[in-house]
Amino acid sequence: MIGQDNNALTWLIILNAVVFVSVLFVKIIFDLTNGHSELIYSNIDSWVAMPADGYEFIKHPWTIITYMFSHNSLWYLISSILWLWCFGYILQDLAGNSKLFPLYLYGGFFGGIFFLIIASLFPYIHANAATYSLMGAGPSIMSIAIATTFLSPGYKIFPMLNGGIPLWVLMLVFVTIDVSTIGLVNPAVAGSHLAGGLTGFLFVYQLKRGHDMGSWLIQTADWVNNLFNPEKKHEKKELYYRTTRKPYEKSHHFSQQKLDEILDKINEQGYHFLTEEEKDFLKKASKENF
C-alpha cells in the first residue's frame, strides 16, 4: 500500500521530510554566510510557523498550512512521521486512501484557528506572542488518531500478541505521550491538539452518517490534476492483466472487471465499506487465484 501511486500517506511523509530539509538547508546557508545565530534561526522559522499574534498571522496567512508540515527538530520530525505512519496506515485499511489528506488538513487548519483564539485569551501568551508559535504535525496527527480509533475502536494490532492489542490502547498511549510532551506551559498548543482531535471525531461521525466531509477536497484535487494533465482525463483504460491463462480461455467463476472495481473501492473507501455480496465475491475470487 505504501508504495502505490498517489498514496496519500507516502506523500504526507514526503512533504514533512522535504519541508524540514528545505528549512534546514536555508539555516545552513545562513550559518556559512553570517555565522550561527538563534535570532536568525527564529526569523527563518517564523516564515513557516503559526504565530500566536493575530496581526502577525494576517501578515503571514500561509502559515496556517505550512506550520503543519514544519518541524524544528529532527526528533520531532521522526516521532511525527512514526505516529503518522502508524495511524495513517490503519486508516487507509479501514476507510481507504482518500480520507487521509482531508483529515490531515482539517485537523491542522482547525488546530491553527484554535491556537490563535486561545492565545488571545491568555494575557501572558498574548503579551509575549513573539516567543510563541505553533509548529509540527501534532494537531493533524491527533485528528487522524482520533478518527481512526473512533472508526473502529476494536481493531487489533499485533495479532500475534495474545490475540492482538485494541486500537484504543494505542490511541491512549499516543495521547499520553502527546500531553506529557506539551505539558501546561502553552495552553494554546494544547488547545490546538484538542481541536485536531475533535475534528477527527466529527469527520468520522459524519462519515458514519453517510456524509464525507473530505470529498470536495479530493474532487478539487482531481479537477486541478486534470486541468494540468488534459491528456490523462481522456486517457482510455487498457484492461490487460498478467495471467497464466490463455487469452481465449473462458472462466465461469468470476469477472475480472468486477474484481478490479471491488479492489478500487477498497483502495478508496476501505474494506469495511464493502457489501456482504462484494466480500463474498472477493473471497471466491481469492480462492480462484490461489
Cα separation, 13 vs 2, in Å, equals 10
Residue scoring higher pLDDT (77 or 124):
77
Phi and psi angles of residue 133, each rounded to the nearest 5 degrees, phi first: -155, 165
Round to whole Å and give the CA distance between 169 and 173: 6
Mind listing the pLDDT tens digit for each residue in 136-172?
999 999 999 999 999 988 888 877 777 788 899 999 9
CATH code of the domain occupying 8-215: 1.20.1540.10
pLDDT of 40: 66
**10 or 128: which leads in pLDDT:** 10
Q: Are 40 and 34 in contact (CB under 8 A)?
A: yes
Residue 60 has pLDDT above 80, yes or no: yes
| pLDDT top residue among 237 and 52 | 52
User: Considering the entire predicted model, what is its pTM?
Assistant: 0.76
**Lowest-pLDDT range, 106-110, 212-216, 277-281?**
277-281
More reliable by pLDDT, 215 or 104: 104
**43-59 confidence digits (pLDDT tens):** 788 889 998 888 889 99
Is residue 251's pLDDT more than 50?
Answer: no
Query: Is the model more confident about 64 or about 228?
Result: 64
CA separation for the pair 263, 138 (Å, rounded): 32
Average pLDDT score over residue span 8-30: 91
> What are the residue boundaries of the structural domains of the chain, listed by start?
8-215, 241-289
Q: How confident is the model at residue 72 (pLDDT cuts 50, 70, 90)?
A: confident
Res 196: pLDDT: 95
126-140, 141-155, 174-188, 251-265: the lowest-pLDDT one: 251-265
Instruction: Report the Cα 179 to chain-centroid distance in Å.
Output: 20
What integer pLDDT is reported at residue 290 of this predicted model?
Answer: 44
Are 112 and 68 a contacting pair, CB within 8 Å?
A: yes
Phi, psi angles (nearest 5°) of residue 162: 50, 45
Identify the pLDDT of residue 150.
93
Which among 93, 113, 103 is positioned nearest to 212, based on CA atoms? 103
Q: Write down the pLDDT at residue 83.
A: 95
Is 82's pLDDT higher than 70? yes
Q: Is the pLDDT of residue 123 over 80?
A: no
Give the whole-angstrom CA distance, residue 283 versus residue 264: 16
Residue 258: pLDDT band with limits 50, 70, 90: confident
- Percent of the chain with pLDDT strictly greater than 90: 36
Residue 236 predicted with pLDDT over 70: no
pLDDT confidence bin for 79, thresholds 50/70/90: very high
Q: Is the pLDDT reported for residue 269 higher than 50?
A: yes
State which of 197-206, 213-222, 258-267 shows the largest mean pLDDT: 197-206
Q: Tell me the average pLDDT across 257-284.
A: 70
Q: Cα–Cα distance between 192 and 107 in angstroms, integer? A: 9
CB atoms within 10 A of CB 88: 28
Q: Tell me the C-alpha distance between 74 and 19, whole Å.
A: 12
Average pLDDT score, the chain: 80
